[in-house]
């Protein structure tokens, strides 16, 4: 779709999130990783929220995870979504641990089609020249 038709809020990268958005632009999911306690975390910030360490690097993650929780949205909380209700918001728990607040796509917004712990994988939607948003879709079959 032409970007001028994109009517939803567009994220603005900050120094802390710049690397995250660069990854998304390449259709890769990169998260901060704490070398001190050997764990990923999200959202991006300059120190580890688990051990408060500052020895951080960025690593690519699998993009695989499972639905931790979801909600079917029947009312749009921003005019940009008004034409898309109902749609599905979700918290996805990545295989690497962190949980992301996101949308589920390629699935019916129906409780019969959705369940917690269903396996999902990341897909990216290019919404502007600079920004691609990570969404998650059901994995076709479990491996």
- Chain residues binding Zn ion by CB under 5 A are 34, 36-37, 48, 50-51, 53
Cβ closer to Zn ion: 51 or 91? 51
**H-assigned helices in the chain:** 18-25
HSE value, Cβ hemisphere, 13 Å, CA-based, for 108: 4
- The tokens for 138 are 């059901």
* Distance of closest approach, residue 23 Cβ to Zn ion, in angstroms: 20
Give the whole-angstrom CA distance, residue 127 versus residue 68: 25
Phi, psi of 3 (to 5 degrees): -65, -25
Cβ closer to Zn ion: 53 or 80? 53
- In 10 A of CB 97, how many CB atoms? 14
* Distance of closest approach, residue 37 Cβ to Zn ion, in angstroms: 3
Cβ closer to Zn ion: 20 or 70? 20
* Distance of closest approach, residue 45 Cβ to Zn ion, in angstroms: 11
* Distance of closest approach, residue 50 Cβ to Zn ion, in angstroms: 5
Cβ closer to Zn ion: 7 or 52? 52
Q: Which of 85, 93, 39, 87 is nearest to 68 (CA)?
A: 93
């Amino acid at each position: 779709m032409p970007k001028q038709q994109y009517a939803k809020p567009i994220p603005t990268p900050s120094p802390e999130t710049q690397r995250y958005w660069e990854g998304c632009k390449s259709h890769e999911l990169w998260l901060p990783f704490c070398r001190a306690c050997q764990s990923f975390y999200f959202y991006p910030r300059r120190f580890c929220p688990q051990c408060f360490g500052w020895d951080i690097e960025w690593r690519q993650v699998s993009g695989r995870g499972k639905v931790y929780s979801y909600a079917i949205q029947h009312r749009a909380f921003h005019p940009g979504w008004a034409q898309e209700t109902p749609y599905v918001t979700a918290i996805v728990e990545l295989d690497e641990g962190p949980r992301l607040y996101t949308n589920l796509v390629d699935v019916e917004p129906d409780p019969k089609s959705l369940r917690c712990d269903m396996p999902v994988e990341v897909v990216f939607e290019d919404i502007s020249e600079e920004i691609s948003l990570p969404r998650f879709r059901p994995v076709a079959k479990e491996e």
